[in-house]
Structure 1
Amino acid sequence: MNKIYLLLVCILTGCSNPLEKVSRSKNPIIKNVMTNDAIYEVQIIYTEIDTSDTGAIVFKDYSYKLDQNEYFYPASTVMLPMSVFAAEYVESIDKINLDTPYAIAKDSLKNSVANDIELLLTENDANAYNRLYDLVGNEFINKRFRESGLSPSQISHRLDIENTDSMTHKEFIFFPGYTDDPVRSFKKEDTSIEKLQLKNTSKGKGYFEKGSLVNEAKDFSHMNYVPLSSLHTLMKRLVFPDNFDKNVQFKIEESTRLRILKTMNASNKETDVLSNEVGDYKNFYMQGDSINQTPDYLEIYNKMGYGLGTMTETSYISDQKNNICFFLSATILVNKNGVYDDAIYEYEEVGLPFLSQLGKEFYKLALLRKD
Structure 2
Amino acid sequence: MNSTRDFWTIIFLVSALSVGQVKSQNLLTKLMQKHPERFEQVFAEPEKFQVQVRYTRIDRKRNNDPHFTTFDYGVDPNQYFYPASTVKLAVVALALERLNKLGIDKYTPMLTGADRPSQTVVLADSSSESGLPSVGHYAKKILMVSDNDAFNRLYEFLGQEAINDSLKAKGYSNTRITHRLSIALSAEENRYTNPVTFKMDGKVLWDQPGAYSQKTYWAPEPIYQGKGHLDGEDRVSMEPFDFSQKNYFPIAEQHQLLRALYFPLSVPESQRFQLSDDDYTFLYRYMSQFPVETSFPKTYTDDYYDGFSKFLLFGATKTRLPRHIRLFNKSGGAYGYLLDNAYVADFEKGIEFMVTAVIYCNQNEIIGDGVYEYDSIGLPFLANLGKTIFEYELERKRKMRPDLDRFEVEYDK
**TM-score normalised by length of structure 2:** 0.81
Q: Please tell me the residue identity of whatever aligns with 1:70.
A: Q
Cα pair 1:268 1:282 within 8 Å, conserved: no
Give the superposition deviation at 1:2: 7.6
CA deviations 1:151-197 (Å, max 9, x no partner) are 2001111111132531222111111334x444201111112424314
Q: Please tell me the residue identity of whatever aligns with 1:354.
A: F
Seen in structure 2, the aligned counterparts of structure 1 residues 54 and 207 have a Cα distance that, compared at 3 Å, is: same
* 1:14-33 equivalence runs, <5 A: 17-33=26-42
CA distance in 1, matches of 2:10, 2:245: 39
1:154 to 2:176 alignment: yes
* 1:183-198 equivalence runs, <5 A: 183-197=206-220
Q: Please tell me the residue identity of whatever aligns with 1:71.
A: Y
Match of 2:167 in 1: 145
**TM-score normalised by length of structure 1:** 0.90
Seen in structure 2, the aligned counterparts of structure 1 residues 337 and 181 have a Cα distance that, compared at 3 Å, is: closer
Match of 2:113 in 1: 105
Structure 1 unmatched runs, 5+ = 10-14
Within the candidate set 75, 96, 110, 2:84 is matched to: 75
Match of 2:59 in 1: 50
- Please give the secondary structure, in 2, of the residue aligned with 1:153: coil
CA distance in 2, matches of 1:4, 1:38: 11
For the aligned residues, what is the CA RMSD? Answer: 2.7
CA distance in 2, matches of 1:247, 1:177: 36
Cα pair 1:268 1:283 within 8 Å, conserved: no
Match of 2:9 in 1: 3
Within the candidate set 206, 210, 222, 2:245 is matched to: 222
Aligned residues: 361
Q: Please tell me the residue identity of whatever aligns with 1:318.
A: A
Match of 2:230 in 1: 208
CA deviations 1:24-79 (Å, max 9, x no partner) are 24332312212322110100011110012453210000001111222100001111
1:334 to 2:330 alignment: no
Match of 1:283 in 2: 310
Within the candidate set 142, 147, 171, 2:195 is matched to: 171
- Please give the secondary structure, in 1, of the residue aligned with 2:247: coil
CA deviations 1:69-123 (Å, max 9, x no partner) are 22100001111101011111222214x2211112123644341011111111112
Give the superposition deviation at 1:274: 8.1
- Please give the secondary structure, in 1, of the residue aligned with 2:111: strand
Seen in structure 2, the aligned counterparts of structure 1 residues 224 and 16 have a Cα distance that, compared at 3 Å, is: closer
Question: Percent same amino acid among aligned pairs?
Answer: 27
Give the superposition deviation at 1:16: 9.9
159-168 or 308-317, which moves further after superposition? Answer: 159-168
Within the candidate set 297, 303, 326, 2:324 is matched to: 297
- Please give the secondary structure, in 2, of the residue aligned with 1:359: helix
Structure 2 unmatched runs, 5+ = 1-6, 17-23, 115-120, 125-131, 294-299, 399-413
CA distance in 2, matches of 1:252, 1:173: 22
CA distance in 2, matches of 1:100, 1:350: 43
